[in-house]
Structure 1
Amino acid sequence: MKLKLTPTQNLCVGFLETGFELIQVDDQYFFVKGKRRQKVLPKTLEALVSRGALQHTDDGNYELSDEFKEHRKEMRSMVEPKHTRH
């Protein structure tokens, strides 16, 4: 898995991590949450699949891969906030 993502790819991952749903309308893809809607290019989604961040589900949708979720969890645990003394 290539772990280095472009800013656009990171933004897409952020949408999925914060509860946006990825939908397809004709040949276009959108992240949707409530009334918010953000277009995403198919080539961006395919790049995320090739880097191992996204996977296709059995019903043809995209979701974050288990491997990528685990990687993000590990990265966050390495950046725990430092406690300061007063």
Structure 2
Amino acid sequence: MKLKLTPTQNLCVGYLESGFKLIQLGEQYYFIKGERRQKVLPKTLDALVNRGALAHTEQGDYMLSDEFVEHRKRMREANDPDQTRH
């Protein structure tokens, strides 16, 4: 897994982590939450799949990969100033 993401790719991951759903309308993909809608390019989704951040299901859905979710959790724990290691 390539863990380095571009700012756009990181933004897309942030949308998914904050509860946005990814839907496809015609040929276009959007992040949707309530009345908010943000367009995302298919090539960005493909890049996230290639980097291991997203998994593409047989039903055509995109979701954060388990491996990436674990990586983000480890990164947050490593950057948490409340955790002291002796």
> Does the alignment reach a TM-score above 0.5?
yes
Distance between the aligned counterparts of 1:82 and 1:19, measured in 2? 26
The alpha-carbon deviation at position 18 of structure 1 amounts to: 0.3
> Deviation per CA, 1:61-81, whole angstroms, max 9, x where unpaired?
000000000000000000012
AA aligned opposite 1:12? C
Shift of 1:82: 4.4
For the residue of structure 1 that corresponds to 2:22, the secondary structure is strand
Q: Which residue of 2 aligns with 1:56?
A: 56
Aligned counterpart, 1:74: 74
Give unpaired runs (5+ residues) of structure 1: none
CA–CA distance in 1 between the matches of 2:31 and 2:62? 11
Give 4+ residue runs of structure 1 displaced > 6 Å after superposition.
none
Q: Give deviations 1:20-45, integer Å, cap 9, x for gaps.
A: 00000000000000000000000000
Query: Number of residue pairs matched?
Result: 83
* Counterpart residue number, 1:7: 7
Identity %: 71
- The residue identity in structure 1 corresponding to 2:14 is G
- Report the aligned-residue RMSD: 1.1
Structure 2: unaligned runs, 5 residues or longer: none
Tell me the SS of whatever aligns to 1:14.
Answer: helix
TM-score of the pair, normalised by structure 2: 0.93
Q: Provide the residue aligned with 2:16 in structure 1.
A: 16
